[in-house]
Amino acid sequence: MPTVEFRNIHKRFGAVTVIEDLNLTIDDGEFVVLLGPSGCGKTTLLNLLAGLQEVNSGAILIDNRDVTDLDPKDRGLAMVFQSYALYPTKTVRGNLQFGLSARKISGAEMQRRIEWAAKLLQINPLLDRKPAQLSGGQRQRVAIGRALVKQYGVCLFDEPLSNLDAKLRTEMRMEIKRLHDTLKNTVVYVTHDQVEAMTMATKIAVMNTGVIQQFGTPDEIYDRPENLFVADFVGTPAMNVLDATLAKANGTVAAVSTLNEIAFDLSAYQWRQPPEEGRPVKVGFRAEHFLAGEGPAPKGPHLVIDRPIDYLEKSGPDAIAFFALATQSVAVRMDARAADLARRATTFKTTLPLEKINVFDARSGLRL
C-alpha cells in the first residue's frame, strides 16, 4: 500500500498561518489519526492531501509520487466526508456506482466492486433504497462503501462519526477498524475525539496551532507525552499536573511541590538531560496510576497520600475521586467498591508508584 509524506508544508489563509513547516511520514498500511482541538489544522491538512485546498509551499507525496499540484481525481485516494454527501435521488447502488462512472471501468467490473463492498459492509439488502430510507449508521456505511469501490490504497476520513449517537459511534469504530485490518490500506483519519484515536490508530499525530506536538503509537502518546499540551489533551480525566522545583540531596533528585508539601523521589526517572537543582518543573501522573485502598506497597519508590475526598464522580463500575494536593486538585481513578468505601471514610489513603511520573519543564512545557 502507498506511503504518504508531507514535506515542509505551509498553509496560510490571508495573513493567518494555519500550518507552518509541517513534516510527517505515514508508512504503508498504517492507520494514522490526526488528533487535536477545533482549529488546530487537522482538517486543513487532510484537505491539502485530498487536493481540496492548495499548499502555499512544500510538497505532498503519495507512494513517492509528487501530487502537490495534481487534481483530486488524479491523486489515487478516496475520501469519506463528515456529512456523508450522498446523492438523495440515487439509490445506494447508484451512489456506490457514481464515483466509478467517470473512470474507464466495465459495467461488469463496477457491479463486481459494488457487490464486494456491499457484502463487506453488510449493506446488501439496502442497495435499492435511497438515503432518506436509511439510518445514520447505514448512510455512513454507504459513504464508506463509495470510497472502497474505488479500490485506492489511501483512504481519508474527515470526522466520519461525529453525526452518530454514542452507540453507533462505538459500532462504526469497530467496523472501520475491522475494514482496515482486512484491507491493509493506508488510512488518514481526522477527529477531535481521543477515544476514537486511542482505539483505532496504529499511530497518532497530536496537533495544535498547525504544529504536530507528538507523533507516535497510542501507548507512547498516553504514557510518555512530549509536552504539557499532549499530557493535558489526551486522557480523561486529563493528566494531573503539579508545580514543583528540582532539588538534590544525598545523590538523589526529587521534585519538591509548592510550599514543600510533597517531595517526589525521581531516582528512577529517565532524564533526557541532566537535572538542574532549582529548576521549576511540572510533575505529571495519570488518575489510574494510583493504587487505591489497602494492599502491598510497590517495590520501587512510591508516595503514600492520605487526604479527605473533596468530590466523587461515580459512573457504573468506574469512579473518579478528587482531593487537594499541594494547593491543586488531583484525580484518582478507582473501582466502584473502593469508591463506596471512600465515600464513607473521613480520609482516603492511596499510593502513587513514582516510576509512573512524568516531568516537564515549567517554562517550555517540554518533557525533561
Of the candidates 323, 310, 313, 317, the one whose C-alpha atom is nearest the C-alpha of residue 336 is: 317
State the CB neighbour count (10 A cutoff) for residue 229: 19
Return the C-alpha cell found at 240: 494531573
Question: 164-197: b or e for each residue (b if 16 or more CB lie within 10 Å)?
Answer: beeebbeebbebbbebbeebebbbbbbbbbbebb
Which pLDDT score is estimated for 82? 82
322 CB-side CA count, 13 A: 12
CA distances from 300 to 75, 269, 327, 354 (A): 54, 11, 26, 8
Rounded CA-CA distance 172/168 in Å is 6
Which pLDDT score is estimated for 308? 85
Which pLDDT score is estimated for 294? 61
Rounded CA-CA distance 33/198 in Å is 9
CATH of 4-233, one of 3.40.50.1000, 3.40.50.300, 3.40.50.10470, 3.40.50.2020: 3.40.50.300
At residue 161's C-alpha, the angle toward residues 38 and 98, to 5°, is: 110
Helix (H, G, I), strand (E, B) or coil at 43: helix
The continuous run of DSSP H or E covering 60 comes out as: strand 57-62
Which pLDDT score is estimated for 323? 87
Which pLDDT score is estimated for 279? 94
The segment(s) of the chain belonging to CATH 3.40.50.300 are 4-233
Which pLDDT score is estimated for 349? 84
* Residues 8 and 160: beta-carbon distance below 8 Å: no
Rounded CA-CA distance 161/196 in Å is 9
Return the C-alpha cell found at 90: 440515487
Please identify which residue in the block is written with the cell numbers 486543513.
44
In tens digits, the chain (368 residues) has pLDDT values of: 689 999 999 999 999 999 999 999 999 999 999 999 999 999 999 999 999 999 999 999 999 999 999 999 899 899 998 888 888 999 999 899 887 877 778 888 889 998 998 888 889 999 999 999 998 888 888 988 888 888 889 999 999 888 788 888 888 888 889 989 998 999 999 999 999 999 999 999 999 999 999 999 999 999 999 999 999 999 989 999 999 999 987 778 999 987 777 889 998 899 998 899 999 999 999 999 988 766 666 777 888 888 888 888 888 778 888 888 877 889 998 887 777 777 777 788 888 899 889 999 999 999 99
